[in-house]
Structure 1
Amino acid sequence: MFEKLEKGLQKIVNPMAQKLSDNQSLKAVSAGFVKLMPITLGLVVFSIIGNLPITGFTDWLTDVGLMDSINAALTASTSIISIYVVFAIAYNFANNRNQSGITAGFISLAGFVLLIPQTVQAGKETVSALPISYMGSSGIVLALIISICVGHLYCYLCGKNVTFKMPSSVPPMVSESLEPIFVAMIIFGLLFIVRVGFSFTEFKNAADFVSKIVSKPLLAIGTSIPALIFVLFVSNVFWWFGIHPQTIQGPVSSVLYMMMLDNIDKFGNGKEMLYVLPLLVYLIAGIGGNGNTLGLLISMISAKSKRYKQMFKLALVPHIFNINEPLIFGMPIILNPFFFIPMTVNCVISGIIAWIYLSVVPFTYNPMMELLPWTTPVFVKYFLSGGIALLVLVLILVAVNTIIYYPFFKMADNEALKEEMAGE
């Protein structure tokens, strides 16, 4: 049965997975977000200090004059994240096509600034300034569109040799800077036309158009909790067949990143966060890594076979830090009929429990903790994120995951034990 299912799924999934993995735009987006980690993680210590769940601590920081500086550190990271995104993605796109990534990145960044409003209202007076509100999470979709379009156009024009050829006597540094001039002129000319075109519409600028027409429908799909649980389910089905879950989760990650940054922005400004429930359900439903294998690890405490006793020792420390590949490949779980059901249904059950729990139990949520490194142990992370309420939820889900995995693990363990006894 599993062999037929495997062959059928591979015929459908493998070509799609290959196309997604080869897609230049998705590669650039993924690499671009990864390159932002030094900024977000480098400043995460200020997020933790400024939002520790200790009564009176934040008031003390304000009294001694440190809170303004902490907020400035957060502004330097998440509040202007779109200007980092628009550069990083265009840079990676051009770099992957053996073109000048730094030039494409700067053109993309300048194009982003060209398309957002450049004035702000200060009372009755209009002041020339770049509104920071367009450079945070609300500008990410526009940043994605500009960076990908500029990346494509830059590489296409360079490939057609639409460049300013310099004599060989000119130093390489000068030549590399001047050669893309015609390419930059063409791209900026097109972006200028876009800006002028939007000025005659009811939106007045491209940023508001994207926010109202593109971002909201995209977020509406991404904030559907059943849809997010389904994404986790399909990801784990793929992973069981050996197809990396990033194939499915990759396109969703940009929407989740937008939701996270929007929560952080609202939290920092004392406003109501809009995407707490869907984001938390998605993240907590997948605790223990893809396949929710923390429950499997705990089940392995009862192992009787030498094989799984040794595997438990090897997988324990990595799994504490959310690294579950030793279990995925060491058991192995991939294409192992014993673990197909628990690996694929755990996230669905966890997602439903988390959805109900978070809808009923009151809790406070600090979205800044989502900036913690992904290797932060889940018990630590969610205690810092939401105190006792979220920690209790994590403990409940780990217990449920363990209950689901345990009978299937015992079957696998008994089988391994029989093989070991027969081989003695």
Structure 2
Amino acid sequence: MMNFIDKFFMPFANKLGNNRHLLAIRDALVGMIAITIIGSLSVLLTNLGAVPGFGDYYQKFMISIFGTNWKTLGLDIWWGTLAFMTIFAVFGIANKLARSYGDDGFEAMFVSAASFFVLVPQVANVTLTPASGKALTGGAWGFVSWNYFNATALFTGIIVAIVATEIFVRLAKVKYLVIKLPDGVPPAVARSFAKLLPGMATIFIIGLFGLILRTFISDGAYLNDWINKVLVSPLTGAVDSMPFAILIVFLIHVFWIFGLHGPNILGGIYTPLLTKLGQDNVNMYAQGVNDLSKYHVLAGNFFDAFVFLGGSGATIGLLVAMFIAGRKRHKQLLALGTPPGIFQINEPILFGLPIVLNPIWFIPFILGPIIMTIVSYSAIHLGLVYPVVAVIPWVTPPIIGGLLATGGHISGAVLAAVNLAISIFIYLPFVIAQGRIEAKKEKSNTTTEPTDTLSL
């Protein structure tokens, strides 16, 4: 088995986990965590007034402090953060990807951003109603929908950032395109001119592609609209499904079983998908949409709030089970693993118990999160639990994370608590079984005395 893993599984996992494009996407989205959290928090605080039984008191309290326009600050923060998520992602991905090639990433950010804006429509159909006269409808230049900048265009932004950076980095290595200035020129100016032609060529190539796309392929549709039609919409429907959720959870924990960081390896694949769906939920929540059927179920911090309680494997349930059934034997491990486990950090348990490459823990470590995923998805899909409408840090403690992720709805905390109970129930028999195995070993070691022989 180990030979099979070393020969086939490990090379694939290492290659996937070290893919420069997936790493750039993951690192850029993680680097945006301050933007996404403050934007989500502003939406949450702005919409707490809609919570039944609490909203009236909350609104009166906020009005008494900030006045009748108390929502303005939250809406301004949302506009400056989540409404431009794709733009931030383009800058971040281009920078990280260019750096992976040894480039400083500075010029690559601007070239990629310019390439993205080249592919955004500049004309919109607007209706103007003069003070006196008939309403006029027609095309007007300079009206760009914010849907081309928020999470709706995230997939397009990722693709453009990767393609533009790849073209730019490769052209920058062609010596005939590099402009060399005299030694007396300031270094910053010299670097900018050295990459002048590669940057111009990259933007021209992307712009030409956009024109060809609209003329011959997409029937006049711009890149983002065309991608949403042929790729994002079908993919979104497949992502927001229970089978996809189960598949992601299963693969993450299988990787962990072999000592590989599952979320890091697969994060570049599923994080953009869930981020896009999560921001759709945040936007609908900010607009006051009350129809829960319109919200995505598998979105945003779904796993962090309801499944990865204490980290991958829901190991906070294992810690509680160890406290119940194996307190004396695991005293030091509990002291070491509980504080970080409360904040969703469980490497001390994964490698200290260990769970990694330990067949005793394979079943509960994988089965528990799968059951919790099924329960969570079903509860939200049936309307029993409010959907994820806020971005939370992945280190948010269990139950509290469920409460915050659902916009302060108690149903989120209840679901997280139920899942915690499920994880304890699943781990408990295995903790007891492990205790009996260790007790038999200790008894065997004490009853069997070694005999020494002396040969003369």
Same fold (TM over 0.5): yes
Partner of 2:198: 183
| 8 Å contact kept, 1:304–1:414 | no
Structure 1 unaligned spans of 5+: none
For residues 316 and 252 of structure 1, do their structure 2 counterparts lie closer, same or farther at Cα, with a shift above 3 Å needed?
A: same
Displacement of 1:241 in angstroms is: 1.2
Partner of 1:55: 55
Match of 2:314 among 275, 292, 308: 292
Displacement of 1:402 in angstroms is: 0.9
Give the residue type in structure 2 aligned to 1:137. A
Give distance in 2, aligned partners of 1:377 and 1:33. Answer: 21
Displacement of 1:259 in angstroms is: 0.8
For residues 258 and 57 of structure 1, do their structure 2 counterparts lie closer, same or farther at Cα, with a shift above 3 Å needed?
A: farther
Partner of 2:235: 218
Partner of 1:33: 29
Asked whether 1:89 is paired with 2:125, we answer no
For residues 89 and 251 of structure 1, do their structure 2 counterparts lie closer, same or farther at Cα, with a shift above 3 Å needed?
A: same
Give distance in 2, aligned partners of 1:275 and 1:292. Answer: 26
Give distance in 1, aligned partners of 2:89 and 2:251. Answer: 28
Give distance in 2, aligned partners of 1:29 and 1:138. Answer: 16
Match of 1:202 among 197, 219, 226: 219
Give distance in 2, aligned partners of 1:211 and 1:94. Answer: 26
SS in 2 for 1:278: coil
Mapping for residues 111-130 of structure 1, pairs under 5 Å: 111-123=115-127, 124=137, 126-130=140-144
Give distance in 1, aligned partners of 2:410 and 2:73. Answer: 29
SS in 1 for 2:354: coil
For residues 389 and 68 of structure 1, do their structure 2 counterparts lie closer, same or farther at Cα, with a shift above 3 Å needed?
A: same
Structure 2 unaligned spans of 5+: 128-136, 448-456
Asked whether 1:16 is paired with 2:12, we answer yes
Give the residue type in structure 2 aligned to 1:276. H
Give the residue type in structure 1 aligned to 2:354. P
Identity %: 26
Partner of 1:376: 396
| 8 Å contact kept, 1:119–1:131 | no
Match of 1:77 among 77, 81, 86: 81
| TM-score, structure 2 as length reference | 0.85
Asked whether 1:243 is paired with 2:264, we answer no
Give distance in 1, aligned partners of 2:384 and 2:141. Answer: 43
For residues 20 and 367 of structure 1, do their structure 2 counterparts lie closer, same or farther at Cα, with a shift above 3 Å needed?
A: same
Partner of 2:288: 270
Between 111-120 and 271-280, report the one with greater CA deviation: 271-280
Give distance in 2, aligned partners of 1:148 and 1:412. Answer: 48
Give the residue type in structure 1 aligned to 2:240. T
Mapping for residues 143-162 of structure 1, pairs under 5 Å: 143-161=157-175, 162=177
Displacement of 1:70 in angstroms is: 0.8
Give distance in 2, aligned partners of 1:91 and 1:285. Answer: 32
SS in 2 for 1:122: strand
For residues 363 and 42 of structure 1, do their structure 2 counterparts lie closer, same or farther at Cα, with a shift above 3 Å needed?
A: closer
1:199-224 residue CA offsets vs partner (Å, 9 max, x unmatched): 32424311211111121132233122
Give the residue type in structure 1 aligned to 2:259. G
Partner of 1:103: 107
Displacement of 1:365 in angstroms is: 3.8
Give distance in 1, aligned partners of 2:241 and 2:327. Answer: 43
1:330-350 residue CA offsets vs partner (Å, 9 max, x unmatched): 111111121011011112211
1:374-417 residue CA offsets vs partner (Å, 9 max, x unmatched): 11112112123342222222222111111111111112223334
Partner of 1:345: 367
1:50-91 residue CA offsets vs partner (Å, 9 max, x unmatched): 233431256445762021221110111111100000111011
Give the residue type in structure 2 aligned to 1:160. V
| 8 Å contact kept, 1:238–1:244 | yes
1:1-22 residue CA offsets vs partner (Å, 9 max, x unmatched): xxx3x44334321111121123
Give distance in 2, aligned partners of 1:59 and 1:313. Answer: 43
For residues 361 and 261 of structure 1, do their structure 2 counterparts lie closer, same or farther at Cα, with a shift above 3 Å needed?
A: closer
Give distance in 2, aligned partners of 1:57 and 1:196. Answer: 54
Displacement of 1:120 in angstroms is: 3.5
Give distance in 2, aligned partners of 1:392 and 1:55. Answer: 20
Count of residues paired in the alignment: 418
| 8 Å contact kept, 2:39–2:82 | no
Give distance in 2, aligned partners of 1:23 and 1:203. Answer: 34
Give the residue type in structure 2 aligned to 1:30. R
**Aligned CA-pair RMSD:** 2.3
SS in 2 for 1:362: coil
Partner of 2:132: none
| TM-score, structure 1 as length reference | 0.91
For residues 366 and 27 of structure 1, do their structure 2 counterparts lie closer, same or farther at Cα, with a shift above 3 Å needed?
A: closer
| 8 Å contact kept, 2:43–2:78 | yes
Match of 1:335 among 357, 361, 372: 357
For residues 223 and 45 of structure 1, do their structure 2 counterparts lie closer, same or farther at Cα, with a shift above 3 Å needed?
A: closer
